Structure 1
Amino acid sequence: MGRLGNSLCAMALSLFAASSGNAATLVEPTLHLKPQSGEGGGRVALTLDACGGKTDTRILSALVDNRIPATIFVTGIWLKRNAAAVEIMRAHPDLFELENHGGRHIPAVDTPRKIYGISSAGSPDAVQAEVESGAAALASAGGPAPKWFRGATAEYSPSAIAMIRKLGFKIAGFSVNGDGGSLLGAKETARRIGAAKDGDVIIAHINQPTHAAGGGVVQGLLALKQKGMTFVRLDDADGIGNDGTTD
């Protein structure tokens, strides 16, 4: 092989490596609250994803009965299927903050790939459509315009993060994965949530009523309340995210 062949070969390998590196670069942002000063058990933010499917009334009822505030990230799909749950949330504006989880629950990644088996948006235009359609669905359901966005799978390409921020949304990461995508058992879910510390942002799911994890979510939240922990919504606290997600 001559010099030209060697050069072309090296260029191809370089391009392949660059494209592979870009494909592998995804961000799973964290989010913390500013630590609380003074006495008390501390503050945590409970965030619940409503991706699709139904409503876990075990969790919703526990939040209302125990006056536990939560930020609910809803998709356009979930909003259409769960009007009764939305009505309950709207009836308790002091407890529930509804935020943007996208129109169709598509990962906010602007290159084609799969994350946890879910096909990504695949292009900048598709990411923008997912974000804007989620906001439009919330507007149609009534209530305040969303300020926060959390994409499906909570993983992003860095360029998608920049785009979402330009659209005016903060991106909600987390610091405690409470239910492992609603796939954990009740005991482990309760342990994870119950171990949350001052400043933590918990992620769990409110759209899987048949999963054992939902019972664990309730147990963990009640354990935190028993410890004297204060629950806040994202709108009511200063959240600090990494990777340019909040600043």
Structure 2
Amino acid sequence: MAGGALGGSAGRTHADIRPPVRPRRPARPVRAAAPRVTPSPTPPRPHGMVFHGARGSRMVALTFDADMTPGMWRSLDAKRVRSSYDHRIIKTLDATHTPATIFATGMWIKRYPDVTRTLAADPLLEFGDHSYQHSAFSTPCYGLPVLAPRKRTADVRHAASILDRYVPGHTAYFRFPGGCHDKAAVRAVLAAGVTPVQWDVISGDAFGHDPHAITRTVLREAKGGSIVVMHLNGPPNAPETHAALPGVIRGLRARGLRLVTVSKLLADSS
């Protein structure tokens, strides 16, 4: 009976009858879907100094220098200074949804690597290069140690390599320590493939002890296209930046000005 059911093949069981085996085709490789990336504004090609954006703009860029020198490092180690990072500034920027640009020295990043990673992940913030250890690129420069001319380009690249490690995709912008520069210093920065970005509004927060005076200065001087310089370090170098910042943000927005990153400001200007 079983043989008749299986097509009359005597002596064969169900397990003996199998369909012919066809050679298997190699599996096609599965392509992973490319992640969707929102492109950042394209910075202008390095051609010279930048002090502000287009004057017809209604945008203003707040920038914060994160300084660190060997002397500041020693003061931190000796507990003479508690910190060179004022988290209250970032708390205010986040609470008010205010974009900003941080110009960080390589030494500051090495002192605060975890903080840097956290700030780099904040969509409101972007980073630029502020040299490795805040040495002067020209003199006089507020008593800062002087960087030899032959080391300038290498210093910019050294700081950029540290930024590469902790802030992938950082901007191709550079800010001179102390804002001090000459024609040779500008050429050295351009040779590193980055654009030197200064400012047209000095907030006065460096060693300033009156937050209301800092706020009044920014509101008086800022206009469309302005780049404002402030500091991220906190006391003693910038003891009242955190206190002045809320008034700066409110006052600029009350005048119909939009706060943006340097990249946004310059991309629209170009």
**Which runs of 5 or more structure 1 residues have no equivalent in the other structure?**
1-28, 242-246
CA distance in 1, matches of 2:211, 2:101: 21
Opposite residue 71 of structure 1, the aligned amino acid is T
Residues 1:240 and 1:227: Cα distance change in structure 2 (over 3 Å): closer
Choose the corresponding residue for 1:66, options 93, 96, 114.
96
Opposite residue 31 of structure 1, the aligned amino acid is F
Partner of 2:145: 119
Partner of 2:234: 208
When you count strand as a share of all residues, which structure comes out higher? 1
Residue 100 (1) aligns with residue 112 (2): no
CA offset digits 1:11-48 (Å, max 9, x no partner): xxxxxxxxxxxxxxxxxx661111346xxxx2101111
TM-score by length of 2: 0.69
Q: Partner of 1:33: helix, strand, or coil?
A: coil
Identical columns (%): 24
Partner of 1:236: 264
Q: Any runs of at least 4 consecutive aligned residues in structure 1 with deviations exceeding 3 A, and if so which?
A: none
For the 8 Å contact 2:219–2:248, the answer to whether it is kept is yes
Partner of 1:26: none
Opposite residue 197 of structure 1, the aligned amino acid is K
For residue 82 of structure 1, report the CA deviation from its aligned partner: 2.1
CA distance in 1, matches of 2:156, 2:268: 21
For residue 56 of structure 1, report the CA deviation from its aligned partner: 1.4
Opposite residue 183 of structure 2, the aligned amino acid is P
1:125-164 equivalence runs, <5 A: 125-164=150-189
For residue 84 of structure 1, report the CA deviation from its aligned partner: 4.0
CA distance in 2, matches of 1:88, 1:64: 13
Residues 1:161 and 1:75: Cα distance change in structure 2 (over 3 Å): same
Q: Partner of 1:231: helix, strand, or coil?
A: strand
Opposite residue 48 of structure 1, the aligned amino acid is F
RMSD in angstroms over aligned alpha carbons?
A: 2.4
CA distance in 2, matches of 1:67, 1:202: 17
Partner of 1:57: 87
CA offset digits 1:125-147 (Å, max 9, x no partner): 22123211110110121311431
Opposite residue 130 of structure 2, the aligned amino acid is H
Higher Cα radius of gyration? 2
Residues 1:145 and 1:187: Cα distance change in structure 2 (over 3 Å): closer
CA distance in 1, matches of 2:159, 2:137: 12
Residues 1:129 and 1:183: Cα distance change in structure 2 (over 3 Å): farther
For residue 182 of structure 1, report the CA deviation from its aligned partner: 4.0
**Which runs of 5 or more structure 2 residues have no equivalent in the other structure?**
1-48, 69-82
For the 8 Å contact 1:182–1:214, the answer to whether it is kept is no
For the 8 Å contact 1:101–1:151, the answer to whether it is kept is yes
Partner of 2:9: none
Partner of 1:226: 254
